[in-house]
């Protein structure tokens, strides 16, 4: 059974960089799309970006501040987002997406608050 677990700081100061990691257990990260999605409090889902076999794709509105990478030796992938503001306060989810089949496995999410 595939499981995803997000980890990272719950509190980040404005203008600083957020680093989150998604650890994958139960399957190899090779051969799937791995994505980051966020949800501000009380709002809808926002796609951040994804990585597939080292190739990345990002939400154009976040592209200048975001980088997603993967580490096959650790079976995990990561998100870095810089120049944070209060608008980046959200629940951050990682998810597995199978080609053509939607995001079928999700982490439980991690809350990130941007505040001084």
Partner 1 sequence: DIQMTQSPSTLSASVGDRVTITCRASQSISSWLAWYQQKPGKAPKLLIYKASTLQSGVPSRFSGSESGTEFTLTISSLQPDDFATYYCQQYSETWTFGQGTKVEIK
Quick count: other Cβ atoms within 10 Å of Cβ 57? 14
* Closest separation in Å from C-beta 51 to partner 1: 13
Rounded to the nearest whole angstrom, what is the least distance from the CB of residue 15 to partner 1 in the complex? 27
CB nearer to partner 1: pick between 21 and 59: 59
10: burial class by Cβ within 10 Å (0-12, 13-18, 19+)? exposed
Nearer of residues 7 and 106 to partner 1, judged by Cβ = 106
Burial (CB count within 10 angstroms: exposed 0-12, middle 13-18, buried 19+), residue 13: exposed
* Nearest to 81, CA basis, from 53, 114, 55, 52: 114
Residue 111 CB, nearest distance to partner 1 (Å)? 10
CB closer to partner 1, 16 vs 52: 52
Residues in contact with partner 1 by CB under 8 A are: 35, 37, 44-47, 50, 57-60, 93, 95, 97, 100-104, 106-109
At closest approach, how far in Å is the CB of 14 from partner 1? 26
Chain centroid to Cα 53, Å, comes to: 16
């Amino acid at each position: 059974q595939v499981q995803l677990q997000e980890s990272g700081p719950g509190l980040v100061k404005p203008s600083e960089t957020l680093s989150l990691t998604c650890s994958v257990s139960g399957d190899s990260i090779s051969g799937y799309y791995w994505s980051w999605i966020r949800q501000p409090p009380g709002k809808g889902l926002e796609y951040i970006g994804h990585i597939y076999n080292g190739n990345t794709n990002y939400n154009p509105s976040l592209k200048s501040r975001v980088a997603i990478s993967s580490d096959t030796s650790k079976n995990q992938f990561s998100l870095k987002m810089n120049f944070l503001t209060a608008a980046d306060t959200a629940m951050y989810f990682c998810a597995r997406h199978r080609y053509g089949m939607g995001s079928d496995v999700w982490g439980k999410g991690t809350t990130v608050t941007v505040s001084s």
